[in-house]
Chain A
Amino acid sequence: MRLSDFSKDIEKNVDLSVSKLNDAQKKLNAIVTMIEPDEQIKEVKEKDPALPLYGIPVAIKDNITTKNIRTTASSRILDNYVPVYDATVIKKLKEAGAVMVAKTSMDELGMGGTNLNAYTGKVNNPYDVKRISGGSSGGSAALVAQGVVPVALGTDTGDSIRKPAAYCGVVGFKPTYGRISRYGVIPYASSLDHVGYFTTNIVDAARMLSILAGRDDHDMTSSYEPVDDYEKKLNSDIKGKKIAVLENVMSSIQDERIIQNFNELVEKLEKRGAIVERIQLDDALLQTLLPVYLIIANAEACANHSNLDGVRFGMREEGKDLEEIMINSRTKGFSSAVRKRFVLGSYSLFVENQDKLFRKAQKVRRVIVNEFKKVLDEYDCVMASAASTIAPHPEESVGEKMSDTYLVAENFMVLGNMSGYPSLTLPSGFVEGCPIGINVTAKAFDEQTLLNICKAVEEETGLENVTVEVQR
């Protein structure tokens, strides 16, 4: 569904979406909380129908704080948490006239890439329910792919928007760090967390950026860079644009169909006048992407979630003293996977370990980003297949475990988080009836170029507004 498909008839829009939601939930298990829309409809009716999202139903990843609407981040410890304030992005959506219809499932606290680790269970892939949606923003990706909502918010710390977008065949966009306020977004790792969203096409992705981006005084890392009218300036003429293909990724992918799909697209882009060159980064450096990411992310996450202690909000388990209450609440409140990551994170912060773990990882991060920056100093964007396979079945999914074959190909998108550069995944074709996608990353704050190139890609693939929508 495109944003432009919607009329100004709010009730009709919302009714359609809500009726699809119920079917979608049975099929996908993508929703944590359904939102009663009546109150919002009333409020939107008071507003100007010319608003860019007037009466349009949207879905929200469950780690984004919504006032008076339960927000769990798919963790048991927040199962009863009803926020008393709105995240900045929620304020912006409301101001733009949107109607929120669902809070979507995610890997607990964003910590995962499969959406298997959600308190409400696995999210099914709309194209093959036995397969995973990918994560951590799996619920949002699945709902957009299913045609329930035209846009859904997500967050991306490693590739948590862009991987599920690839597996579910939708556009997933994480703009530059600081572009969209993080205020009110339950963190995973603050220095890597980005807010972004899913759409079914590039025009909508451009419009959403103008709506959500902008300086926010509540977020000291928020950028002062001016926000443009990206939709109006969208231009798919990519003649002379320099595109770097990240060959380290492409050469490690074993599925010939994915390689072929990618190469055909490259040829088409070249025909449009783009200059495409294959570049190679130091393999030894790229092999550190996952460990560097995990060390930094786990350490920040462990501290970030120290507030979840059962004292001021959330699920409290009783105990004889304060320590026992905290231990019981957190043991029961967090899954095994999350607790194990916290231990790893905490370990790397000990004084005796910090130099060789946490600080070393932060230093390698700089080396990586410096190398990546050199590429983008020369090219307009970096491109590669977003994943080395179609969405796997749960038992095949490797998660964040080490897999030498795909160490680089499955984790390279974290380059966008380490550098903060804008990065977008869009569908490029189908293999065995399941979607595959490509990922494009551009210079910091140059979202316009990124969107322009992606528009050209979309025109070549013809995969604009593709959903597995159930006709009603």
Chain B
Amino acid sequence: MNYETIIGIEIHCELNTNTKMFSAAPVRFKEAPNSCTNEIDLGMPGTLPCLNIHAVELALRACMGTHCEIDPLVKFDRKNYYYSDLPKGFQITQQFHPIGKNGYLNIQTKDGMKKIRLNRIHMEEDTAKQFHTSSGSLVDFNRAGTPLIEIVSEPDMRSGEEAAAYVEELKNMLYYLGVSDCKMEEGSMRCDVNISLRPVGSDKFGTKTEIKNLNSISNVQKAVDYETQRQKELLENGGVVEQETRRFDEATKTTVLMRKKEGNVDYKFFPEPNIFPILLDESWIESIRNSQPELPSQRKEKYMNDYGLSEYDASTLVQTKELSDFYDEVVSHTKEYKLAANWCMVEMMAVLNKENIAFKDNPCSPHHLAEMIEMMKANEISSKQAKTVFEEIMKGKDPKKVVEEKGMKQISDPNEILKLVTQVLNENPQAILDFKNGKGRAVGALVGAIMKLSHGQANPKLANQILNEELKKR
């Protein structure tokens, strides 16, 4: 029998805020344990939640980027369960009234563009982080209360490739929107995948399994592919798929059972009485909509249509937001779009990769790079000189200063060049004779002499021209 794989994905994403969802404690990573908390995050008696406006703004940006309907009346609910990483004994979430619903995302598949529907986006708070040692579990509440959005797709994906494309598209978009830093390997973006199989042509869903906490896009694809195969073999051998939670094992590239689901846990959701519903101002929502950062697809279009870049160049630039941001900054100072793209994508990336420098530590300023490109365009430096200048601006230097210090400014003044030409001709009477006798290559030797005399600073084109004129006069 032929089976169809049905995939739905839930993604938890930590929001880029300074403070927590419901408390003013700072959101920071890799700090000393329990040093970024206050009484609210620790669930101390008597504390009350107080919603962070920036978290709402970022949730709205995610909703807008995914074409969700936005509910301007923000409400929260309690999800009740007991665990050592859950300080209050309940999590504040948006069970009944998600901030966004009925959205979609377009992904690129081998058969072209495909629309993946989003069921909902809702806000909630993260739990504490636990470290397991042989003698017990250590709990650090620094992460407790960190703002999260959960993005729930409809079961619209049909293969590991589509699942991976969906996660990649979403990750890229949320990153570009500044919603989250989306570091899957560090857990700031966490991905749970639901998979079931059904005979092709059936409209009923089969029993699904959930694979928790996939920590990279390639693992999403690998896990889905493996799990599809596993379920298929089960079904073909007359077995049944059981509803269970599994995890992906990196070493064996397989999915492993974590626990069986015994019925549904009743989280006893009810509306959070300590947060009155908050009516978001329509004009505020509009101002957020109007200040949405450009998405990769929008930037790509701009690069191709407005800047005349090739599809390849445009795609390469938008692959990482930092590179694209850098390029945008460079071309705000120069109109040499193609030249700027080459320097950014090829020369600069080569240095960063070779020196193993992270983009955020890039010593080169976009303004400096633009200046250098402008100098090339004005024939102030040759492209050969530019390579030297570039090496220096990649160390954080100002190109004007480099040119000055190295005295490498190109000589383009005809009078200056005439002086050089005259001196060289006076010193090489034999070459003039050779020229007169029809030995064309004598010119090359004379130009070489001019360049040598000028320490390579003479504008070669101009030198050639003036030399030819002077030779004819002799």
Contacts and interface: CB of A to CB of B under 8 A. Distances in A.
B278 to A, nearest CB: 8
Contacts of B78: 303
Q: Which 6 A-B pairs have the closest CB atoms?
A: A306-B89, A349-B268, A190-B273, A191-B273, A307-B43, A184-B46
Interface in A303-340: 303, 305-309, 311-313, 322-323, 326
Contacts of B90: 303, 306
B268 A311 contact: no
Contact of B48 (A220, A303, A354): A220
A85 B39 contact: yes
A220 B49 contact: yes
B115 to A, nearest CB: 33
Interface stretch (A76-84, A143-151, A463-471): A76-84
Given A217-B50, A307-B88, A312-B87, A186 B45 contact: yes
A218 interface: yes
B85 to A, nearest CB: 10
Interface in B113-149: 137, 139, 141
Contacts of B424: none
B84 interface: yes
A117 interface: no
30 contacts: A65-B45, A71-B45, A73-B45, A81-B45, A83-B39, A83-B45, A84-B44, A85-B39, A85-B44, A183-B47, A183-B48, A186-B45, A186-B46, A191-B273, A217-B50, A219-B48, A219-B50, A220-B48, A220-B50, A220-B51, A220-B274, A303-B89, A303-B268, A306-B80, A307-B44, A309-B89, A322-B83, A351-B266, A351-B268, A358-B270
A349 B80 contact: yes
Interface residues of A, number: 45
A221 B43 CA distance: 18
A141 B82 CA distance: 36
A65 B46 contact: yes
B145 to A, nearest CB: 13
B126 to A, nearest CB: 16
Contacts of B80: 303, 306, 349
Interface string B237-262: 00000000000000000000000000
Contacts of A63: 46
A118 interface: no
A199 B49 CA distance: 31
Given A220-B51, A351-B266, 14 more contacts: A83-B46, A183-B46, A220-B274, A221-B273, A221-B274, A303-B80, A303-B90, A303-B268, A307-B43, A309-B89, A313-B45, A322-B83, A326-B82, A350-B266
A87 B38 CA distance: 14
Nearest to B264: A351
Residue among A73, A184, A312, A349 with the highest chain B CB neighbour number at 10 A: A312
Given A303-B89, A349-B80, A349-B268, A218 B48 contact: yes
Interface in A248-281: none
Q: DSSP class of A's interface residues: helix, strand, loop or mixed?
A: loop
A219 B47 CA distance: 9
Interface of A: 63-65, 71, 73, 78, 81, 83-85, 87, 182-187, 189-191, 217-221, 299-300, 303, 305-309, 311-313, 322-323, 326, 346, 349-351, 354, 358
B275 interface: yes
A217 B52 CA distance: 12
Contacts of A218: 48, 50
B432 interface: no
A85 to B, nearest CB: 5
B284 interface: no
Given A185-B46, A220-B51, A307-B87, A349 B270 contact: yes
A328 to B, nearest CB: 13
A351 B82 CA distance: 18
A298 to B, nearest CB: 12
Contact of A220 (B39, B266, B275): B275
A26 B442 CA distance: 121
B42 interface: yes
A303 B266 CA distance: 13
Interface string B31-61: 0000000110011111111110000000000
Interface in B82-100: 82-84, 87-90
Contacts of B44: 65, 83-85, 307, 312-313
B29 interface: no
Nearest to B79: A303
Contacts of A307: 43-45, 87-89
Nearest to B34: A312
A78 B45 contact: yes
A326 B42 CA distance: 16
Contacts of B82: 306, 309, 323, 326
Contacts of A311: 84, 139
A219 to B, nearest CB: 5
A107 to B, nearest CB: 16
B276 interface: yes
A303 B268 CA distance: 9
Contacts of A220: 48-51, 274-276
Interface in B137-191: 137, 139, 141
A65 B39 CA distance: 11
Contacts of A64: 46
Given A218-B50, A303-B80, A312-B43, A190 B270 contact: no
A220 B44 CA distance: 17
Residue among B43, B49, B274 with the highest chain A CB neighbour number at 10 A: B274
B123 to A, nearest CB: 15
Contact of A312 (B38, B42, B48, B270): B42
Nearest to B49: A220
Contacts of A219: 48, 50, 274
Nearest to A87: B46
Nearest to A221: B276
Contacts of A300: 273
Contacts of A85: 38-39, 44
Contacts of B275: 220-221
A329 to B, nearest CB: 11
B270 to A, nearest CB: 6
